[in-house]
Structure 1
Amino acid sequence: MSRVISVFLPDWPIERLAPGDAGPDQKLVLAGHDGRRRIVTAVNAAVRRAGVQPGMAMAQAQILAPGLAVRPADPAGDEEGLAKLALWALRYTPLAAPDQPDGLVLDVTGAAHLWGGEEALVADLCTRLARRGITARAALADNRGAAHALARFAANPTWLTRPGNSGPVLLSLPVAALRLPQKIMDGLHKLGLRRIGDLADAPRAPLTRRFGPELQLRLDQAFGRVAEPVAAVAPPNVPEAARDFPEPLTAPEALANHTGQLVEALCATLATQAAGARRLDLFFHRVDHAVLALRLGLAAPRQDAPRLARLLRERLEEIDPGFGIERLVLRASWTEPFTLHQTAALEQHAAPDLAPLIDTLASRVGAHNLYRMAPVESDVPERSLRRIPPLAPLAGKAWPSWPRPARLLSPPEPIATMALLPDHPPISFIWRGVRRRVARADGPERIFGEWWKRDAELFAVRDYFQVEDETGARFWIFRAGDGENTATGSQAWFLHGFFA
């Protein structure tokens, strides 16, 4: 089942022309022309609170909001900027496109697991847009029509429907959610048809005779009865290879064979450019005009055609060919310079190439689940490490020489203890309902708070102990405070990690 995200940018023209330079109380509008009338085309939040709306005559807007700052509208610039934003959205899926005049549409079928699930993908998308100063509302549904309607009339700021459940949630939305011309909406309102549910229950033939076929087309698109593929944008000057078929392909063996040929052609192109692929997008154009896509991320630049073909073939089972595939397109949407290295001499030991293993694992479990830990200059344990890509080099920092557990809990879990204050380790402790008697212990190791980061850590102290219970399990526990002065901490005990 397809899954589509629609992103609604309600203040796109304003935020594109004035990204953050207008204060929260500055009244800013964009002005254009409707025939010979000068009208408001976009408003910011301060003007909207004063009652000014797009489409209003500029003279009336200036009466409602004195001191109005006016800038000329730039529809062509808005359209171009939205296309660039769609190129930016290709990081999430190969199938992303502008949804003029105020949104984006992304077909994320089969791509959500690479971001930790659908909810995580939508949250990351909205967060990144917010960091760029762009207000966004996003909805995820089974098809483009439903996602478009929910993003504009239900999302606050997001709305996610369960697979197969997009239709029922549309019934209470207004008919304006169907992307109908104003003339048709006015006619529907005169008939008392104001909700999508009213249209769903009404006879189709009389409405088609009165309003034409567009009304039923939009209704069918919203309920997923008519396909509405995403015409994805393509970055300029991206290496790609394509193949058209006079007879549509349905057999898995034929798809695998032609995929291998496309990979060989693309790798030959990359070799002439001294580039390697870091990301491959394979597009399947079906005879019903639907477009499906596979994305393959790579840990390092690659030109190895047999290996890349094998990784893509392993995922062909995710594609439903329907009534046949009439066109295949393979695109290297992310490339990096590629250099050949001389093999090591006989007396030398060549470093193992882990990139093929990482590529295989990433295609199965998602690239976000693969990482390595790197040290950070901090004495506070939970701040002393960070995640980096599997093959990323360390930034010159080394791990501390003192013992540290192999696994940390985030956050540390409270434990009940019996201990002699202030410097003795616990005699026993209770964690998750199980009492553990301490057989051996070492400590304390005192760690002070980083007062230059937060005032609350000016006097903060932690005393850490390495303890071993009677079964041989080793734990890393600490007391919040020095055991005497409450200003240094709550004196409560916590379990923070486990030693191997």
Structure 2
Amino acid sequence: MAIWASELALDRWRHSENCKAGEDADSEPLALITETAHGPRIDAANAAGRAAGAAKGMMLADARTLCPAIAVRPSDPAGDLAFLERLAIWAQRWGPWSAMDAPDGLLVDVSAVAHLFGGERRLLADVEARCSARGLSVSAAIAPTAGAAWALAHFAASGAVLGPEEDIAARLADLPVAALRLDNDVLLVLRRLGLKRLGDLTSVGEGRGDEQRGRDALHRRFRNRKSPAANPLIRMDQLAGRVPEPLLPVVPLTAALVQRRLLEPIRHRDLLDTVVRDLAEDMARELEGRGEGARRLQLGMWRVDGEVVVRELEMAAATRDPAHILRLFTARLDDVDAGFGIEMVRLRASWAEPLGLDQTDLEAAAEAHGTSLAACMDRLTVRLGKGAVQRPVLKASHIPERAQGWQPPLEAEPATQGQLAFHTRPIKLLEPAEGIAVLYASPDGYPQRFRWRGEVFEVARVEGPERIAPEWWREKGTARLRDYYRIEDAKGRRYWLYRLGLIGDGRGGAPEWFVQGLFA
């Protein structure tokens, strides 16, 4: 079954404005717009706006020429996609699984379930009635294949049913080629060839003596296009059921959630700590039953006046220790304003990872006393802020400044990146490298005297060069080579210098010199 929400963006906007289709929201021209490089563009328009001349894809300046009184609101594609995902989960009341057909449709598997609703017709009537009650304008259809159901929902009357015994190609022959879900450029090519209906695709080459009349002609034209949306042959086979069409079902994931509705609103901190302790213990039991540990926890506190105070924690490692959770939240509740009182407290694990039961060991004992490494990282993060505690990791790059990265302290190192063998590297790297002025260079190319940070250095010993080429897969072809030197001055201080570019390499002016690092 295909469900097409033709005005999904507007319906979601009406939901946010607490109004229904046909009410005041549709009495005046309205358009949802998005900002582009050439100015605002219309993403959707209501019935009054379309009657006044506004259309999807039109620039707002052109629409205002036709309808100066049109009202505009910002569109939210990300919000529309999230709304469609929630709608897909809700639509599973009609079938065991559902898939999103972005940006405004759903596909629901209704195999062997229509009799539970009294047949296909009553099932479609139930879909339209329940969607209408939710303020959604939809068109639904049932067919043996997803492609055929999509074509009927978009280009036939709502409530159309195509039985498994019917000839799909013959039944849909009068529908436009746009019913194949093809890209716009492919549709343009088909229209220029005079192929406007699905029936035209199967009659190409008739009367010319070709045994494979239609398919051969289309195959020659689109043989290099492998994507289903760019090849009408693949789409026709999917529509007729000759080629399977994989779909990705939406799997609902429910986050672990515990809450307390209080008989009397609380205002004092010690009472709030008691409630949070109870919630932490409930959350530990809930996560243990799921075999998971929390990485991110959200604590919501509903006040009597309707305000919601939210505090969020993100742990360095998955945990379900209630004492540790309470200890972290204690440091985040000092600035909570209870107002006239808090009447409900909710704890939600928005990010959880698998965490099995472990036998008590030294680390568990340390966790019980709050001295484990994970507990230490969490405390530092709460005190110093998110992102302040990180550790360096090696990266697969021979460019010095790219050979190291940063990641959360307890994350596992990437296993796919091999370690590269380098020559001696300095302990301290400057980020970024600092330019120097070479006062005199030897005929071999390395500096004998240079100025850096206002001081002149005399070079006593030199080792090098070590040539490092640019990463051609990341940088432009004009990137210059680097020649690195390990240099010691007259006072025994050692530096890692490099020359950027060669004389006459055709990739810039004269070579430049930089200090990249300092040896101990």
When the two structures are superposed, what TM-score results if normalisation uses the length of structure 1? 0.52
1:382 — aligned with what? 401
Provide the C-alpha distance between the structure 2 equivalents of 1:236 and 1:408, rounded to a whole number of angstroms: 45
Kept after mapping to 1: 8 A contact 2:298/2:311 = yes
Task: Please state whether the residue corresponding to 2:334 is helix, strand or coil.
Answer: helix
Q: Deviations over 1:180-233 (max 9, x none)?
A: xxxxxxxxxxxxxxxxxxxxxxxxxxxxxxxxxxxxxxxxxxxxxxxxxxxxxx
Kept after mapping to 2: 8 A contact 1:421/1:483 = no
Among residues 249, 271, 287, which one is paired with 2:304 in the alignment? 287
1:490 — aligned with what? 510
Among residues 397, 400, 412, which one is paired with 2:433 in the alignment? 412
Provide the C-alpha distance between the structure 2 equivalents of 1:476 and 1:450, rounded to a whole number of angstroms: 20
**1:427 equivalenced with 2:448 (yes/no):** yes
Kept after mapping to 1: 8 A contact 2:463/2:486 = yes
Task: Please state whether the residue corresponding to 1:320 is helix, strand or coil.
Answer: coil
| Higher RCO (C-alpha under 8 Å, 6+ residues apart) | 1
Provide the C-alpha distance between the structure 1 equivalents of 2:33 and 2:85, rounded to a whole number of angstroms: 14
Provide the C-alpha distance between the structure 2 equivalents of 1:487 and 1:384, rounded to a whole number of angstroms: 25
Alignment CA distance shift 1:480-1:78 (3 Å): closer
Alignment CA distance shift 1:292-1:486 (3 Å): same
Please give the residue correspondences for 1:99-118 in structure 2 after superposition, counting only pairs within 5 Å: none
2:47 — aligned with what? 33
Kept after mapping to 2: 8 A contact 1:13/1:78 = no
Provide the C-alpha distance between the structure 1 equivalents of 2:42 and 2:304, rounded to a whole number of angstroms: 48
Kept after mapping to 2: 8 A contact 1:474/1:498 = yes
Kept after mapping to 1: 8 A contact 2:502/2:510 = no
Provide the C-alpha distance between the structure 2 equivalents of 1:299 and 1:54, rounded to a whole number of angstroms: 57
Among residues 48, 69, 72, which one is paired with 2:60 in the alignment? 48
Q: Deviations over 1:339-394 (max 9, x none)?
A: 2345679xxxxxx9632222222222233233333333332223333333322323
Kept after mapping to 1: 8 A contact 2:393/2:407 = yes
Provide the C-alpha distance between the structure 1 equivalents of 2:65 and 2:424, rounded to a whole number of angstroms: 64
1:398 — aligned with what? 419
CA drift at 1:469: 4.6
**1:363 equivalenced with 2:394 (yes/no):** no
Provide the C-alpha distance between the structure 1 equivalents of 2:413 and 2:338, rounded to a whole number of angstroms: 41
When the two structures are superposed, what TM-score results if normalisation uses the length of structure 2? 0.51
Kept after mapping to 1: 8 A contact 2:54/2:63 = no
Count of equivalent residues: 316
**1:308 equivalenced with 2:296 (yes/no):** no
Task: Please state whether the residue corresponding to 2:413 is helix, strand or coil.
Answer: coil
1:227 — aligned with what? none
CA drift at 1:492: 1.5
Kept after mapping to 2: 8 A contact 1:423/1:483 = no
1:480 — aligned with what? 500
Share of identical aligned residues, percent?
A: 33
Provide the C-alpha distance between the structure 2 equivalents of 1:476 and 1:443, rounded to a whole number of angstroms: 10
Kept after mapping to 2: 8 A contact 1:371/1:388 = yes
Q: Deviations over 1:460-494 (max 9, x none)?
A: 22111223456665432211124675647632111
1:276 — aligned with what? 293
Where do 5+ consecutive residues of structure 2 fail to align? 1-8, 14-31, 87-251, 363-370
Alignment CA distance shift 1:49-1:77 (3 Å): closer
Q: Letter of the aligned partner of 1:307 in structure 2?
A: H
2:262 — aligned with what? 245
Provide the C-alpha distance between the structure 2 equivalents of 1:469 and 1:32, rounded to a whole number of angstroms: 76
Kept after mapping to 2: 8 A contact 1:42/1:54 = no
Provide the C-alpha distance between the structure 1 equivalents of 2:443 and 2:372, rounded to a whole number of angstroms: 51
Provide the C-alpha distance between the structure 1 equivalents of 2:332 and 2:457, rounded to a whole number of angstroms: 48
2:343 — aligned with what? 326
2:115 — aligned with what? none
Q: Deviations over 1:384-416 (max 9, x none)?
A: 333333223233422534222344334322112
**1:340 equivalenced with 2:353 (yes/no):** no
Kept after mapping to 1: 8 A contact 2:438/2:449 = yes
CA drift at 1:294: 1.1
Please give the residue correspondences for 1:446-461 in structure 2 after superposition, counting only pairs within 5 Å: 446-457=467-478, 460-461=480-481
Q: Letter of the aligned partner of 2:501 in structure 1?
A: G
Provide the C-alpha distance between the structure 2 equivalents of 1:414 and 1:13, rounded to a whole number of angstroms: 57
Q: Letter of the aligned partner of 1:33 in structure 2?
A: A
Kept after mapping to 2: 8 A contact 1:476/1:498 = yes
Q: Letter of the aligned partner of 1:393 in structure 2?
A: E
2:249 — aligned with what? none
Provide the C-alpha distance between the structure 2 equivalents of 1:379 and 1:497, rounded to a whole number of angstroms: 15
CA drift at 1:331: 0.9
Q: Letter of the aligned partner of 1:364 in structure 2?
A: R
Kept after mapping to 1: 8 A contact 2:439/2:451 = no
Q: Letter of the aligned partner of 1:375 in structure 2?
A: L
Aligned-residue RMSD, C-alpha: 4.5
Q: Which has the larger radius of gyration?
A: 2
CA drift at 1:292: 1.4
Where do 5+ consecutive residues of structure 1 fail to align? 1-11, 59-74, 87-234, 346-351
1:188 — aligned with what? none
Q: Letter of the aligned partner of 1:331 in structure 2?
A: R
1:96 — aligned with what? none
Provide the C-alpha distance between the structure 2 equivalents of 1:260 and 1:291, rounded to a whole number of angstroms: 19
Alignment CA distance shift 1:383-1:434 (3 Å): same
Task: Please state whether the residue corresponding to 1:318 is helix, strand or coil.
Answer: coil
Provide the C-alpha distance between the structure 1 equivalents of 2:285 and 2:453, rounded to a whole number of angstroms: 59
Q: Letter of the aligned partner of 1:359 in structure 2?
A: D
